[in-house]
Amino acid sequence: MDALKEYWIFESALLVCFFVGIDLGGKMKENLFKASLGSKGDAPLKSYDIGKLLLVGFFGGLVSMGIIGTINGRWLKLDRKVLIGLGALALILLGLKLTLLAMMGMGMLGWDYRTYRMVSKIGYVGLFIAYYFAFKKPFSLFVYAGGIPTPLLKPGLLWIFIGGLIEFLMVYAVSVAVDYDIL
Amino acid sequence: MTYFNNFEVQVQEIEYYLEIEKFTQAKKAIEKLLPETPDNGLLLYYYAFCLYCLEENEVAEEALFESIRLGFRNVDSTYLLGRIRLQCNNFQSAEEAFLEALEMDPQSVPVMSSYALLMFRTGHQKKALNILDQALRLDPSNEVALSVRFIYLLAYGSKNIQLEMLADTLQGAGTETRKLLNIGLYELHHNKLKDAKEAFRQAYLQDPTNTDLLEALDELQMRTSLLFLPNNIIQKLGGPAFFWICTAFIALIGKLFLPDMIAGVLLLILVCLMLATWVSPVIYLAIKRKQARRKRTMLKQLHPRGGRK
């Protein structure tokens, strides 16, 4: 009798799994062929030509590259964690740049201004490379699936100006702080 | 009887042109036949299909609506409507059309594959991959499914997987032109411009009416010319980003360890190389325009009245 009971419970469990599985499979199939487009935040993919972002980074600086990189990343629907990581990298590099400037001002670093600018430019290119490798595969898929990159000239110039201005103000603030012995 | 036989023969001729992807010839044949049978839903569907393939999307949609109005409402017409809307970037209405086609035929692999492509275009990658997997399980050799998968693997797959996929698409169904285009795309993705140009040239010889192919060939002609040697060198080195890093690195090393003059000369060479990449497209286009003007002048001299006597 116990054996029968066990068998019945086992068979019932199997039947439940079977029907639940079928239902789950049905639900999965139903989700695959259910409309996904049309909600408010559901825009199609967009992107700038990621190779040309180098110009924005090189001439605009870390703030320009960070902002335009984040915009492009959201357009390509990159993973949020990746975008946050890249944003954090931009902030870290900015912090490092300002720290090196302060150290130069206080005489702790024997660099001249030219060396400092060269190292800054390497930092800008480094940030661009990080964004480039994050964008490379999604951008390739976007292009091969028929997407056309958005022109970069006007927004690029705009972000070079705005980002460059913000960074200049930060550098100026640090220089003044060093001069007035606040730092 | 003779009339219907003639009509059938002409429709067969149109279907043959569509099968070998000679859309311009098919369009001409349909335009000859349409005035005699303006209420033929199938003919209008074929006409819409040709126009879609020739990227005349607005007229294609009109012809297709007319075909549906005349009763040619089925999976094929709804699927084509989805494709037209996708080509026009009307993604939401394209999705509606694909889902409607899938309701009529849930096992249709081309519709599933096109829907997957739409999902890739709109950033729903997981959903696209699930749909594509389902499509390939139903028909592993379907040309549309293999093309969409190939596009995905070009972006995300390793070189070995891309080669395997390319081999699958070459063995699957599909015209010679399409197979050569896939080869060209693979070579282009890996920056092998001369191989890509050869593949596209072979594809163009198969289909000389394809203006998109001609544009691509012109672009490749430019990029494989001697004037673009600096661009190709930089591309081989890893692209502009890597080149700039090398320049910055060499500048730093030069400043620290080399005499100023040598460091300066090195830097000058690298900067000139970079500048050459920006200037070469402008020079190339200027040369092409000059050659075209010279050709027009020579033709005018040969036929002073523009060919009319």
pLDDT by residue (tens digit) across B193-250?
888 888 888 888 877 777 777 877 887 887 787 777 777 777 776 676 667 767 767 7
pLDDT at A9: 45
- pLDDT over 90, % of chain A: 53
Average pLDDT over residues B76-92: 93
Tell me, yes or no, whether B161 lies in a domain: no
Q: With beta carbons less than 8 A apart as the criterion, state whether A141 and B152 touch.
A: yes
| Nearest in space to A61 (alpha carbons), one of A107, A132, A1, A123 | A123
pLDDT at A183: 62
The answer, yes or no, to whether residue A23 has pLDDT greater than 70, is no
Whole-complex ipTM: 0.75
- Asked if the C-beta of A149 comes within 8 angstroms of chain B's C-beta atoms, the answer is no
Alpha-carbon distance A166 to A62, whole Å? 10
Is B185–A144 a contact, with Cβ atoms under 8 angstroms apart? yes
Alpha-carbon distance A36 to A141, whole Å? 19
Average pLDDT over residues A135-152: 92
Give phi and psi for A150, each to the nearest 5. Answer: -75, 140
| Nearest in space to B285 (alpha carbons), one of B239, B225, B202, B213 | B225
Radius of gyration of chain B (CA): 25
Work out the minimum CA distance from A139 to partner chain B, whole angstroms: 8
The 10 Å Cβ neighbour count of residue B279 is 13
Domain that holds residue B261: 227-302
Would you list the domain boundaries of chain A? 1-29, 45-179
Give the count of Cβ contacts less than 8 A between chain A and B.
89
Alpha-carbon distance B217 to B200, whole Å? 7
pLDDT at B303: 66
The answer, yes or no, to whether residue A8 has pLDDT greater than 60, is no
Tell me, yes or no, whether B273 lies in a domain: yes
- Asked if the C-beta of A145 comes within 8 angstroms of chain B's C-beta atoms, the answer is yes
The answer, yes or no, to whether residue A28 has pLDDT greater than 60, is no
Work out the minimum CA distance from B157 to partner chain A, whole angstroms: 9
- Asked if the C-beta of B127 comes within 8 angstroms of chain A's C-beta atoms, the answer is yes
Q: Sort out which chain A residues have CB atoms less than 8 A from B89's CB and list them.
A: 44
- Asked if the C-beta of B248 comes within 8 angstroms of chain A's C-beta atoms, the answer is yes
Name which residue leads in pLDDT, A92 or B214: A92
Specify the residue for token string 């096109």.
Answer: B114
Q: Which of B55, B99, B122 to mutate to test the interface with A (most CBs of A within 10 A)?
A: B122
pLDDT in tens, B18-39: 888 888 889 999 998 888 888 8
Quote the number of domains for chain B: 1
pLDDT at B2: 56
Average pLDDT over residues A92-121: 90
Buried b (16+ CB within 10 A) or exposed e, B34-70: beeeeebbbbbbbbbbbbbbbebbeebbebbebbbeb
- Asked if the C-beta of B154 comes within 8 angstroms of chain A's C-beta atoms, the answer is yes
